A and B are shown apart, each in its own frame.
Chain A
Amino acid sequence: MFKQLLCLLFFVISFSSFAGEYQTNEEFLQQAFVGQAVPKAKLLWIKSPLKQTVADILQHRPSFLRTRYWQLDNKTVWILNETGKTKPISVGIIIENNQISLVKVLAFRESRGWEVKHDFFTNQFKQAQLTDNQKLSQPIDGISGATLSVRALTKLSTLALVFNQHIQP
């Protein structure tokens, strides 16, 4: 009985360490602009026809009409949210020279699918660009049991590239 209780306790403790906030937005921005001052945030308003593109990528109406981003030379940083199954996943995305250089899960609030936070998964997005038909230029391998989270990260990465393209002069 004692052993079973210990196992249960271990399971609860280890499970609770999966979901949560892994990095604050401020920490992520400092990581993105390491050795430099974090630039002032800018606003991108999601108006037509961009709104329709966003809806097509997310496969639902966007739950926001503006998003903030940080830009320095050829680098843009985006912090976006998308619901996996029931709760939003916060993701930080760094784009340099129109290619993704880093995808990082900042907060994961769902009870399942947390495996997407690992580097072995997020590294797949590195060097990804936007194709002419608004898709990622490289395939992303899924994770069993984390389909919705994988889908959310793929959508957000695509979205960041679309936004990055939209703000180019």
Chain B
Amino acid sequence: MSQRRKSLWRWLFKFHRYTGLSSALIIIMSAITGIVLNHSDELSLDKRFVVSSKLLDWYGIKASSANQGFAIQQQWLSQLNTHVYLDDKFLLDSPQPLVGIIYTADYRVIAFSNRLVLVSQQAEIIEEISFDNLQALGKNNDGGIFIKTAAGLQISTDDLLTWQASQATKIHWSTALTLPTTLQQHLQQQSRQNTLPYERVLLDIHSGRFFGQYGIYVIDFMAILFILLVISGLWIWLRHTLKTHRKKN
């Protein structure tokens, strides 16, 4: 074998060895995050949120604040971003803004701009009823439930099954009030902790985005190295196999 070919093989061995060693950590990281992401649904990773302050700081997530809410039976209903809270407990998600809340003997009715949500006393969702451009929610002393939409004032007196146009005037509308300061502070803290799902973090680690704007280029570079690693490995194996075969013959 010529000196030139020998040095080429030596270089290939060295390349394979050091590339393998240097990329081992990234391969392990990609493999682990890939396996976990494959089971994201079963592990509910999109519904579980990061609570670590350091990680939230790393993502630059700031606390949101809600100053207003709706008082209902000694409790407060408020909305922070897309999360709706009853006092300090998460109740449901809604990208649409909160309009009001009223209660009946059997359930509570929460109004968003696009729907009414009936919630049991145990905070279970009973039913959701779609509406367009819901502007206000109220009730009167006779138990009638009123909504104001672009189509005008409507009343339901049959468990929210049907709605009729109304001319009523004595309606107690649900109106927003200032939240107590302690609740505001508590919600502010909560809002940060319900923003970043674990799935997002894992996806970012897997793609390299987690490590900043150059992270993806590092992962791209490592991916190219993986390809070269496989090629050099195959090459070395093939040469070794052929050499052994020739010796046997």
| A binding-site residues for B, Cβ under 8 Å | 40-41, 43, 63-68, 85-86
Q: Interface size on B (CB < 8 Å)? A: 12
Q: Which of B87-134 contact A (CB under 8 A)?
A: 118, 120, 124-128
Q: Is B127 in contact with A65, judged by CB distance below 8 angstroms?
A: yes
What is the chain B residue whose CB lies nearest that of A61? B124
Question: Could you say which residues of chain B place their CB within 8 Å of the CB of A63?
Answer: 125
B65: min CB distance to chain A, Å: 28
Question: In residues 135-178 of chain B, which contact A (Cβ within 8 Å)?
Answer: 159, 161-162
- Contacting A at CB under 8 A, from B68-92, are none
CB distance from B128 to the nearest CB of A (A): 7
CB distance from B169 to the nearest CB of A (A): 28
The total of interchain contacts (Cβ-Cβ below 8 angstroms) comes to 24
Q: Is the CB–CB distance between A66 and B127 below 8 Å?
A: yes
Question: Shortest Cβ distance from B127 into chain A, in angstroms?
Answer: 5
CB-based contact A66/B126 at 8 Å? yes
Contact yes or no, B128 A64, CB < 8 A: yes
Please indicate the chain A residues that have their CB under 8 angstroms from the CB of B161 in the complex.
40-41, 43, 68
Using A43-B161, A65-B126 as known contacts, list a sample of 13 further A-B pairs with CB atoms less than 8 Å apart, ordered by residue number in A: A40-B161, A41-B161, A43-B159, A63-B125, A64-B125, A64-B126, A64-B127, A65-B120, A65-B124, A66-B118, A66-B127, A68-B127, A68-B161
> CA separation between A35 and B231, bound complex, in Å?
71
Q: Would you call B162 and A41 a contact (CB within 8 A)? A: yes
Give min CB distance, B94 to chain A, whole Å.
14
Over the window 22-57 of chain B, the binary record of Cβ atoms lying under 8 Å from chain A Cβ atoms (1 yes, 0 no) is: 000000000000000000010000100000000000
Query: What are 22 A-B pairs at a CB distance below 8 A?
Result: A40-B161, A40-B162, A41-B161, A43-B159, A43-B161, A63-B125, A64-B125, A64-B126, A64-B127, A64-B128, A65-B120, A65-B124, A65-B126, A65-B127, A66-B118, A66-B126, A66-B127, A67-B127, A68-B127, A68-B161, A85-B41, A86-B46
Q: 3 closest Cβ contacts across the A-B interface?
A: A65-B126, A66-B127, A66-B126
Task: Say how far A88's CB is from chain B's closest CB, in angstroms.
Answer: 9
Hey, which chain A residues are within 8 Å of B159, CB to CB? 43
Q: Of all chain A residues, which has the CB nearest B119?
A: A65
**Which A residues touch B124, using CB under 8 A?**
65
Please measure, in the bound complex, the distance between the C-alpha atom of A66 and the C-alpha atom of B127, giving whole angstroms: 6
Q: Which residue of chain B has its CB nearest to the CB of A46? A: B126
CA distance A65 to B126 in the complex (A): 4
Q: Tell me the smallest distance from the CB of B161 to a CB of chain A, in Å.
A: 5
For A86, list chain B residues within 8 Å (CB). 46
- In the assembled complex, which residues on chain A have CB atoms less than 8 Å from the CB atom of B126? 64-66
Closest to A63 in B: B125
